[in-house]
Amino acid sequence: MLDPSVLIFLSSGLFLGWSLGANDAANVFGTAVGSRMVRFTTAAIICGIFVVLGAFVSGAGAAQTLGKLGAVNAIGGSFMAALAAGLTVYWMTKMGLPVSTSQAIIGSIIGWNLFSDSYTDVSSLLKILSTWIICPLLSAVIAALLFTLSKRFVRKMGIGLIRFDGYTRLALILAGAFGAYSLGANNIANVMGVFVPVAPFLDMQFGQGFSISSAQQLFLVGGLAIAVGVFTYSKRVMMTVGSELMTLTPLAAWVAVMSHSIVLFLFASERLEQLLANMSLPTIPLVPVSSSQAVVGAVIGIGMLQGGRGIQWPRVYSIVRGWIITPLISCLICFVGLYFMQNVFQQTVQRDSNYQLSASVIEKFQKEGIETSGLNELSGTVFRSSAEVVRSVKEKVTLSSKQGLKVVEYSFQKNLAITAENIAAMDKNGLSSVQLKALNQLEGRSFDYPWQLGDALAEISTEWVVRGGGLKNKLHDRKIKQKLAYLYRIFQRREI
């Protein structure tokens, strides 16, 4: 049975989801509502339905990048990270500013990393930070292109004014539905991503062939919270984006919504990434991008195409200022909140973790191309935080950001026991018959490090091999790592 305290801790994630719905629904339907083409009630109903579908069906892709940036390992820490982001977004929403929930949750994760002395993967952070620039620029370019093509199409078709008005209204509704789906798929990582590592729900099995994982349950609950936020508190920000930033024609409103939706979809779709990889084309990183930045970029792109005279630049500057201070405020709130939760309310905000450089770990470093000269001096030393182990290794050898992430991964201790009971109880739908056979051959064995289980499986079957390198291998490796992460959780030895 689910511990009632889990629901209490999860409330901050629900609050963040509500805040996101209250704020970011403006990015989906703000231009349509602001231009009086779609009623608010209609917009809220459509947005609520499709944001839940997007979160549940396609929410997994972008959530993985947040896990690399910082994996909050205790539900108390997840609670405060989500609460800090939610409070920041709520405050900005009260001011009528379309703030970025992506920036808010990333600020919270950095705050948790600083408080817990956890290693921050700089490469993942830079990837996310780069999207804060790429996202509005890409949206502006797509909007300018779409607007130009749309105007030419309308002129060529010679549609009457009344019929054109009806077509535009329908187009805005369809674009809004697509935008809501994309919003749920991409931004659910901001709402529930910090709860995924602690896995507060048990996987649910419904007969043969259908199951709902802990992460999917989180995404569903988070999607519902977003929908509630849309219904109850999004109208004010809708009017800000829809009318105060720039006066939009119905056609321009449609272009803004479509451009925003396309950008969010590009950064969230695993299927699109797979398609591009199969065609040997560069893939787009699965990163939770800012919905607010996308729609503001789209509106500015349309405005610049028309000479920039209609853009309310003071309003743009206030929005950009909000984007800059959002992660800083969220980081500060999270850091201070964690201190009070741990020292005043006596709540666990981080689980004790051990990182040890044993002989087998140092040998693993060598195989992965990490320099090991001088590391034997650290052999047997137990470190209490991921940042501490990376600092100690860096004193001996030179590490890149990605190598630092590998040091954390391979030195992390988690006792795993492969028992017949756990094999029988686990969800086997995601495993092939060959992969399952390899797992059964390890029954009775135990491992001190998670990677040892992965290596043991790879020695038995090539279907468990993490290939490395290349776009197609990247997608294959991600699926293998997802399966291994599930096994690490299932076979973790429970301490008595």
- Answer yes or no: do 230 and 198 share one domain: yes
Closest by Cα among 186, 196, 212 to 10: 196
Burial class (CB in 10 A: 0-12, 13-18, 19+), 495: exposed
| Within-domain flag for 406 | no
Read off φ and ψ for residue 336, nearest 5 degrees: -65, -40
Residue range 18-29, pLDDT digits in tens: 988 887 777 788
| Within-domain flag for 409 | no
Cβ atoms of 302 and 35 within 8 Å: the answer is no
Structure-token match 């797979």, residue found: 274
- Between CA 303 and CA 173 the distance in angstroms is 22
- Answer yes or no: do 256 and 315 share one domain: yes
| Within-domain flag for 349 | no
| Within-domain flag for 58 | yes
| Within-domain flag for 196 | yes
- Answer yes or no: do 177 and 257 share one domain: yes
- Answer yes or no: do 239 and 386 share one domain: no
Give the torsion sign (CA, 132, 135, 138, 144): negative
| Within-domain flag for 405 | no
Read off φ and ψ for residue 64, nearest 5 degrees: -65, -35
What one-character-per-residue DSSP string does 42-70 give? HHHHHHHHHHHHHHHHH-HHHHHHHHHH-
- Between CA 293 and CA 170 the distance in angstroms is 25
- Answer yes or no: do 147 and 8 share one domain: yes
- Answer yes or no: do 324 and 457 share one domain: no
Residue range 433-454, pLDDT digits in tens: 999 999 999 999 999 999 999 9
- Answer yes or no: do 331 and 372 share one domain: no
Instruction: Flag whether the pTM goes above 0.75.
Output: yes
Low-confidence ranges of the chain (pLDDT < 50): 495-496
- Between CA 306 and CA 473 the distance in angstroms is 44
Structure-token match 């290596």, residue found: 455
- Answer yes or no: do 385 and 315 share one domain: no
Closest by Cα among 180, 184, 194, 191 to 268: 184
- Answer yes or no: do 308 and 433 share one domain: no
> How many separate domains does the chain show?
3
> Where on the phi/psi map is residue 280: left (φ > 0), alpha (ψ -120 to 50), or beta?
left
Structure-token match 């519902």, residue found: 224
Which pLDDT score, from 0 to 100, does residue 496 have? 37
| Within-domain flag for 271 | yes
- Answer yes or no: do 443 and 384 share one domain: no
- Answer yes or no: do 365 and 272 share one domain: no
Tokens of 265: 């979809």
275 is in which domain, residue-wise? Answer: 4-343
Which pLDDT score, from 0 to 100, does residue 61 have? 60
- Answer yes or no: do 192 and 276 share one domain: yes
Alpha helices, H only, 267-312: 270-278, 291-305
| Within-domain flag for 187 | yes
